[in-house]
């Protein structure tokens, strides 16, 4: 297949991350992070303190504050690869609820400290030391601060294909809204990994990646792959009369697809898990639904891994690579729509 975007290469080594701005302060402070003339910031707000020492935020690896401050510090000071971020600002700013910003972390920047006061524009400092020298308050050293907020932040620069960070509308690309991590403010974004990398590269379709992502199932998010597997069951002759009886997704514990063929109930699990032990665990849990031959059980998994799993009685293994290729032949419009990438706009 010809690469129609010659010269636009995906940075497969890049780290992809998600930032959600559920911060203290006012909506104007959050708006400033995205709109200020000096550039876009992502920020977290665990305690109103300029400290970038994660031990000041719980001293416990299970503490989300500890995890996120540590993650931000390590990205700023230790990460030696590009970091692509999808940043959502709509938690506090209504006009941003239907879009997000995609950019890269400025590679030479330390953790910035942003000091906000009610009624004033925020002031950004390029390091913890600069913030402390300027007298930024520290909740760790005294009682709770009123009407002042202190963010830890990283500046964003443009993507590989764009000079500055870009906006992606959820109307244009709803996937980035559907697969957002639920509970974290700043974390790795595995479910959107290939999608953020492709946006960063300026691609308009996963059709254009050629051999960079040879397995077509790797071009789909897990929720998309579930839909494709459901379509495979509908169209493949071996599952005659198949129809879903519950919504595709997490409808039952350990099962993604529930339906019926002409003669049997059907339960299916869809996974991209490649670790043998984890794949075996999924097969065993699916096998628990076996009911004396009256149920069909299908494990959709990575290509070439079926022989590595001791399949329980009644469990069939189907390669997700084969599934995507089959559905692409039978219903290419669906795969075209899933492969389509957004056209980011200027902020």
Into which CATH architecture does domain 218-336 fall?
A: 3-Layer(aba) Sandwich (3.40)
DSSP 270: E
Within 107-238, residue ranges assigned H as helices are 128-133, 175-178, 193-200, 222-235
pTM tops 0.85: yes
Residues of the chain with CATH 3.40.1350: 218-336
Instruction: Give the span between the Cα atoms of 83 and 225, in whole angstroms.
Output: 25
What distances in angstroms separate CA 107 from CA 8, 36, 104, one per listed residue? 21, 20, 8
112 beta partners: 153
pLDDT per residue over 154-185, tens digit each?
999 999 999 999 999 999 999 999 999 988 99
pLDDT tens-digit map of 208-253: 988 888 899 999 999 999 999 999 999 999 999 999 999 998 667 8
Give CA–CA dist 340/225, Å, rounded: 15
Q: Compute the distance between CA of residue 322 and CA of residue 238 in angstroms, rounded to an integer.
A: 14
* Other beta carbons less than 10 A from residue 143's beta carbon: 6
Sign of the alpha-carbon dihedral angle for 250, 253, 254, 256: negative
Tokens of 78: 């230790």
pLDDT block averages, 10 residues each, the chain of length 347 = 52 96 94 95 96 89 90 94 97 96 95 95 97 93 83 96 97 96 93 96 92 91 95 96 91 89 94 92 94 90 91 96 97 97 95
Locate 245 and state its tokens.
């009886």
Determine the Cα–Cα distance for residues 256 and 119; give it in Å rounded to an integer: 49
């Amino acid at each position: 297949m010809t690469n129609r975007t010659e010269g636009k290469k995906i940075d497969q080594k890049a780290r992809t991350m998600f930032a959600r701005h559920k911060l203290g302060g006012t909506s104007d402070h959050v708006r400033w992070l995205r709109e200020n003339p000096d550039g876009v910031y992502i920020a977290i707000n665990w305690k109103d303190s300029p400290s970038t020492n994660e031990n000041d935020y719980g001293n416990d690896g299970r503490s989300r504050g500890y995890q996120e401050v540590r993650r931000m510090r390590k990205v700023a000071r230790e990460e030696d690869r590009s970091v692509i971020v999808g940043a959502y600002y709509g938690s506090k700013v209504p006009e941003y609820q239907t879009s997000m910003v995609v950019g890269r972390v400025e590679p030479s920047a330390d953790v910035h400290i942003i000091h906000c006061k009610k009624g004033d524009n925020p002031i950004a400092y390029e390091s913890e030391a600069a913030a402390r020298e300027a007298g930024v308050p520290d909740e760790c050293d005294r009682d709770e601060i009123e009407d002042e907020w202190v963010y830890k932040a990283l500046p964003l620069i443009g993507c590989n294909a764009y000079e500055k960070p870009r906006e992606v509308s959820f109307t244009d690309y709803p996937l980035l809204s559907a697969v957002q991590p639920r509970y974290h403010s700043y974390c790795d974004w595995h479910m959107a990994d290939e999608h953020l990398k492709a946006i960063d590269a300026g691609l308009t379709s996963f059709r254009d990646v050629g051999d960079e992502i040879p397995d077509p199932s790797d071009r789909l998010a897990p929720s998309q792959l579930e839909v494709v597997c459901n379509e495979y069951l509908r169209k493949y002759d071996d599952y005659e009369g198949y129809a879903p009886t519950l919504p595709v997704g997490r409808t039952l514990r350990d099962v993604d697809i529930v339906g019926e063929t002409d003669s049997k109930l059907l339960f299916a699990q869809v996974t991209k898990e490649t670790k043998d032990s984890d794949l075996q665990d999924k097969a065993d849990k699916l096998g628990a639904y076996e009911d004396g031959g009256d149920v069909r059980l299908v494990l959709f998994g990575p290509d070439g891994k079926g022989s590595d799993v001791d399949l329980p009685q009644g469990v069939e293994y189907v390669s997700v690579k084969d599934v995507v290729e089959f559905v692409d032949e039978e219903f290419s419009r669906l795969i075209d729509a899933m492969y389509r990438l957004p056209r980011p706009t200027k902020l």
